[in-house]
Structures are given as C-alpha cells and as structure tokens.
Amino acid sequence: MSAAPQRTLTWVGPFAVFILWLAVDKYVPVANPAKELLRDAILAAAIFFFSRSVLPRRAPYWFASIALGVAVAVIWVAPDALVPGWRENWLFQNGITGRITTSIPRQELTPLMLTLRTMRAALLVPVIEELFWRGWLPRWIQGKPFSTIPLGQYTQFAFWTTAALFAAEHGPFWEVGFLCGIIYNLWMRRTRSLGDLMLAHAVTNLALSIYVIRTERWMFWM
C-alpha cells in the first residue's frame, strides 16, 4: 500500500468503519446488549488500528473546550425545547433529510444499554468524527496533499463545505448540525488543537445523553 492511502486511512478509517456498521447493523445476528458491546469493541479497535499514531495527547484549552461543549449541547436541544412541534416541520422531516427514528427500541432502554450508549457517544464517537470532520476533510478539500496542510487551516470553501456536510450527516437535525459545525470549525481554527475539538465534542455528547435520559426525549438518539 502506498504512503498516501495509508495517511488517508489514518484519519478516515474509523469513520468508514462507523458508517459501515450503521449500514449493516440491522443484519448483524447478535442480540443486545451483546451487539452494543460488539459495536463498541469494533469501533475502539478501528481507532487503535488506523489512528493511534495521530491521536492527540492533550487539550491545552480544556476549560474553554468543556464550556463550549456544554453550550453546543444547549444549542442542539434549544429549538425543540422552546418551540413545541419544531421538529415536525417539513423542513426537518422530509424525503431528503429523513425522519426521526430512535436507534434503540423502547423495550431495550435498560440501565446497561443506556450506559453503553452514553459511553460510546462520549468516548468513541467524538474521536471518530473529529478525526474525519476537523482532522481530514477540510484539509483534503483544499487540494494539495492534505498532510501538508496544518490542522485548523481553512479556506472559505473548505470551512463552509465541512459545516454543510456535517449538517447533512445529522438528517432532521440539520439546522442545529449546521450551526454546531460552524462553531466546531471556528474552534478548530482558533485552537489548532484536535484534542480540544475531541474534548468539546465529547462534552456535547455527554451532556446531550444526560439530557435525553433525564427527559426521555429519545428522538435525540437517532
């Protein structure tokens, strides 16, 4: 394998495994909670196998990143908390963005399943997504061999394309996804620290998971 594909897989590999699992999840002949444990093990293995050489070891702006993560979680739930029926509008649920369906059947919402889901959201998903969305994609969009472009460097096109695609990934929550993508991109440009982005994203997902469990608004766990 040439060096260029190896460098790309370092950043993209875990995300590709994550997307592949989402595509085949319903066909995996394993019952929960064993399936949840299997998924987490596969994702952790993908991070280790592909990306261990580029994983950040520190978050120098950790306090601000934690505060930012909480703020993004508030932004994520604010429209639906403040405006009843907000998410029912055709702008959010339609044939293009999809419709809201929770990924865990109600009968499987046991303490163990909730713990596993929260741990994955807070520990694995931020690493996988930030490697792709802030570590690789905006640099790849800019053309040159992406590995020569410093982390946190954006062109206008790379900045807004990354934010728009991040929004698209979140389907019926595209509008808050777009806003949060902008915020994360700005923080990456400000800090040039992938560790801080992973920390902020982890805090967002943890706060959102706590909110979902306490309010039983399972729609936020698509």
Say what the pLDDT of residue 155 is.
97
Enumerate residues 6+ apart whose C-beta is below 8 A from 27: none
% of the chain surpassing 90 pLDDT: 84
What average pLDDT does range 23-51 have in this prediction?
Answer: 93
Enumerate residues 6+ apart whose C-beta is below 8 A from 94: none
Q: What are 185's two structure tokens?
A: 């991109």
Which pLDDT tens digit goes with each residue over 171-199? Answer: 999 999 999 999 999 999 999 999 999 99
Say what the pLDDT of residue 124 is.
98
Q: How confident is the model at residue 1 (pLDDT cuts 50, 70, 90)?
A: very low
Lowest average pLDDT, out of 72-76, 140-144, 196-200, 206-210, goes to 140-144
Is the pLDDT score of 143 beyond 90?
no
| CA angle, residues 211, 214, 216, in degrees to nearest 5 | 90
SS3 (DSSP) at 222: coil
Say what the pLDDT of residue 93 is.
96
Which residue(s) pair with 94 in the sheet? 98
Lowest average pLDDT, out of 47-56, 67-76, 94-103, 182-191, goes to 94-103
